[in-house]
Amino acid sequence: MAVAYAYEYSDGDWRASVGHRPLQRVDVNQVVLLHRHWIAANLQRTRFKELLPDAKGPAEDEAFLASECFVAMYFWYALLWAVIEGFQDRGIGIGGPMSEDIEAVSAPLRRCRNAIFHVPERNHDPRLFELMEDPGSAAVISRISTGFGRLFIEEATARKLSGEIPS
């Protein structure tokens, strides 16, 4: 039986996660900085999605991890971790299902980032495979990534409506 994965948060899950407007009291320059990092991650996500239909998997190509498609995926994952870490370092509280998703992938996502941005001692780095071994991780990471994008859009809209930033 195939499992159906949700790739975005329902309205109720979204309200439970960020209904308290977690970026409201964060300096606008910090919000812009975090958003810029999310944009970099999302560019890699977009590239990954563009390349995925034509990508060869491990059974078809021994060098699949070096393919542009999977390099884009791993850069997306690593850069998304930087955004998560930026929120954590600034004490920006996400709640509900988004927080649960972040908690579920934090350790392997951090290790993936480390494997991408630090040259390992051997070619086969198990940290690169942890997330692939979890069939639900792609949906969780997509939800988180889309959630951050939605959060930045909603915060910009709220600040424009309040007059804090010009339209």
pLDDT digits (tens, 9 = 90+) for 3-23: 567 889 999 999 999 999 999
Q: Based on the structure, what is the number of domains in the chain?
A: 1
Task: Please name the residue that has the structure tokens 């039986």.
Answer: 1
Whole-number Å distance between alpha carbons of 66 and 69: 8
The predicted pLDDT at position 1 comes to 54
Give the pLDDT band (50/70/90) at residue 120.
confident
Does residue 104 carry a pLDDT above 90?
Answer: yes
Whether residue 80 is contained in a domain is answered as yes
Rounded to the nearest 10°, the torsion over CA 136, 142, 145, 148 is -90
Whether residue 12 is contained in a domain is answered as no
Does residue 141 carry a pLDDT above 80?
Answer: yes
Give the pLDDT band (50/70/90) at residue 107.
very high
Q: pLDDT tens digits for 18-60?
A: 999 999 999 999 999 999 999 999 999 999 999 887 766 655 5
The predicted pLDDT at position 32 comes to 96
Q: pLDDT tens digits for 142-156?
A: 999 999 999 999 999
Does residue 159 carry a pLDDT above 70?
Answer: yes
What sign for the dihedral angle of Cα 7, 13, 14, 18? negative
**Residue 165 phi, psi dihedral angles, 5° rounding:** -125, 145
Q: Residue 114 corresponds to which amino acid?
A: N
Q: What is the pTM of this model?
A: 0.89
Whether residue 16 is contained in a domain is answered as no
Helix (H) or strand (E) holding 153: helix 137-162
Its domain, for residue 155, covers 25-162
The predicted pLDDT at position 166 comes to 73
